[in-house]
Amino acid sequence: MGGDGEGRPRGGGFLGRWATRGGAALLASALCAVLLLLPARGASADPAQLCAGYAACSAPGFTTHGYPRAAAGSWWSMYGGINCTNYAAFVESHVYGVPTPGLLLGDAYQWSARAAAAGIPVDQTPTVGAVAVWGPDAPGMGADGHVAVVEAIGPDGSYIDVSQSGMGPANDGYDWERVYRDGGSWESWPSSFIHFAGSGSPAALPAPGSRVPGAELVSAGG
């Protein structure tokens, strides 16, 4: 979805729906929608925002994980484009080597319950590479919640840095946000974290504060 051109953050609301493809298979998907419940914010209005937009988030110290080149595709049966679930699925698959799950994860708020039911670890502990999940009741999120990728973890788990699609004020909807456990950013602490298992997870995941080789970064800001 397009933004309103006024630098407002895009929200985590989803237009989740089931679609029939070829008259046979049902396709579960989730689309991060524009949310205009928050006031406009400039580059310096949100001190917890680390970068906004593909260009800024491609600068040293950040990464888009190559999503601008892959956004048009569908990952894990999610809708492509400015879409938090498609972005999270792409990063888990492309960066961490997670195989496509044998289940439909659905809208963002459904990811944790469906993953847990399938035996995928879900808990309250962030790790680099985990998918952070916000429920529909989280402040600033739409009825279908939101997901993002954990990029770094602060001392004693005091904060996490997340990359995400569908939340940034730039027209491409991409940004990095520092989310504090005790508040300090407009995004609240996630309700849960999903630890998908793949060639890069969990044993080979980098330690908190670092990122996987080849992800355009060596270490995260602390």
Is residue 116 assigned to a domain?
A: yes
Is residue 202 assigned to a domain?
A: no
CATH code of the domain covering residue 79: 3.90.1720.10
Residue 133 has pLDDT above 50, yes or no: yes
pLDDT band at 176 (very low <50, low <70, confident <90, very high): very high
Is residue 208 assigned to a domain?
A: no
Q: Look at 15-19, 61-65, 148-152, 189-193 and tell me which has the smallest mean pLDDT.
A: 15-19
Is residue 7 assigned to a domain?
A: no
Express each pLDDT in 117-126 by its tens digit: 999 999 999 9
Inter-residue contact 181 to 161 (CB < 8 Å): no
pLDDT band at 197 (very low <50, low <70, confident <90, very high): confident
Is residue 75 assigned to a domain?
A: yes
Return all residues near 177 (Cβ < 8 A) that are at least 6 apart. 46, 48, 49, 50, 148, 161, 162, 164, 167, 185, 187
Tokens 């985590």 sit on residue: 12
Number of folded domains that form the chain: 1
| Structural domain of 81 | 17-35+48-194
Amino acid at 44: S
